[in-house]
Chain A
């Protein structure tokens, strides 16, 4: 299917475990992003990638790791999950270029750390 998909949609994990959230897009967009959404904070950028093998930190990167070996995939790993990482995570992608290029968002992954 065309578009941007995240998996899993829901995940419960225990404190201290490693967990990876997957993001896949079919448009060959250059830019990909990971955001977390928390009540009262809107969406905050965790990491972004401008192209394969190019990643950089956003506003709240601590405790997260990303990689981008292929243009279409941008996994987000929580190395040792903490309860403060309970959140809804959104992946987004955007074609490179113009200032007004919109970003497209996945459906989100609701992660609960117990």
Chain B
């Protein structure tokens, strides 16, 4: 069984300040981990994915995530928020041998000018 917990349902930051969106996962085996972003009234776009090649994963638009097995975490960060980052972000896990993607409940990021 696998599960994902996004620790904050809503995060608000000022433009130009760092972003931290927190995600903890549970999986019986070595998982695949993804972050997707959904802008208002749009579909979901892949930001980045953990491939086990490196624990620090770089994605699009300046986002990064660090896989920490000991903490079962995969937090998403960005050094400096931009207005265009305002969206909902989903942490997603897929367990080894599983077809299914399990989504967190999402974190809505607001960016204040």
Chain A contacts to B: CB under 8 angstroms = 31, 33, 35, 40-45, 48, 50, 58, 90, 92, 99-100, 102-108
B26 CB, min distance to chain A CBs, angstroms: 15
A30 CB, min distance to chain B CBs, angstroms: 10
Q: Is the CB of A42 within 8 A of B43?
A: no
Q: Is the CB of B44 within 8 A of A42?
A: no
Contacts of A33 in B (CB 8 A): 101
Q: Is the CB of A45 within 8 A of B101?
A: yes
Contacts of B94 in A (CB 8 A): 99
Supposing A42-B104, A43-B103, A45-B100 touch, asked if A102 and B43 sit within 8 A by C-beta, the answer is: no
B91 CB, min distance to chain A CBs, angstroms: 9
Q: Can you list 25 A-B pairs with a CB-CB distance of less than 8 A? A: A33-B101, A41-B105, A42-B90, A42-B105, A42-B106, A43-B44, A43-B90, A44-B103, A45-B101, A48-B100, A50-B99, A58-B100, A90-B43, A92-B44, A99-B32, A99-B94, A99-B96, A100-B50, A100-B51, A102-B34, A102-B46, A103-B46, A105-B43, A105-B45, A107-B43
Q: Is the CB of B103 within 8 A of A42?
A: yes
